[in-house]
Amino acid sequence: MSQQALGRHPGWPATLGPVRVPSGQVALRGPRLLDAAAWSRARMRDHAYLENWEPTTPGTWAERNGQFAWPSQWSALRSLARRGMSLPFVITVDGALAGQLTIGNVVRGALCSAWVGYWVTSAQARGGVATAAVALAVDHCFQRAGLHRIEATVRPENAASLRVLEKLGFRHEGLFRRYLDVAGDWRDHLCLALTVEDAPKGLVNGLVADGRATLA
């Protein structure tokens, strides 16, 4: 029986880390149905912090991020993962939910590419959490999931997210004009990307060598 028939594909399911950074031990794991309460608390608390960077979708913030909104999101993430189209993760710090990271639009064949998207709570916005999470995910994509290229699109105004990607060696490849409907309008996004040749020793190893993280 094939991996697809078993609901598996290269690199999934997976638990990654932990890596220790100043904020604590950062790890990635698959989303769980029981994450509903912690996920909703984080999203509702950080409404103002997160809203400017996320695609516009129908309904109010409370409707989209209340506890009862999680089961349908969890089910959709799980379905995409089982079909080999995505690698969805919850970011944890010392075991507690601190954000999400998704490797999406996984394309195999001659392209072997995907995008990475992520958010972390305002309480974990500094201290290396997002940087460590992206490093763990990209290493996993290149080393186990068989991908060759990971790209990210970021609003030019999102300085914090740009710093995360630049610290990890993502290169700027261009500007997408009016690329996504975010916070109620069509926004320009910068495109950054990394290929496996750019990280021969791994991104996590690079953070360790620079003194930004230690292997837990």
Tens-digit pLDDT profile for residues 49-93 = 999 999 988 899 999 999 999 999 999 999 999 999 999 999 999
Strand 214-215 to 87-93 pairing: unpaired
pLDDT at 140 over 90: yes
Q: Which pLDDT tens digit goes with each residue over 1-46?
A: 345 444 457 899 999 999 999 999 999 999 999 999 999 999 999 9
Element at 189 (helix H, strand E):
strand 185-195
Strand 87-93 to 16-21 pairing: unpaired
- pLDDT at position 10, please? 87
Give CA–CA dist 195/147, Å, rounded: 9
Q: Which pLDDT tens digit goes with each residue over 159-200?
A: 999 999 999 999 999 999 999 999 889 999 999 999 999 999
For residue 151, with 0-12 CB atoms within 10 Å meaning exposed, 13-18 middle and 19 or more buried, which class applies?
middle
Using omega within 30 degrees of 0 as the cis cutoff, is the peptide bond preceding 18 cis?
Answer: yes
- pLDDT at position 216, please? 79
Q: Check: CB of residue 165 under 8 Å from CB of residue 192.
A: yes
- Percent above pLDDT 90 for the chain: 90
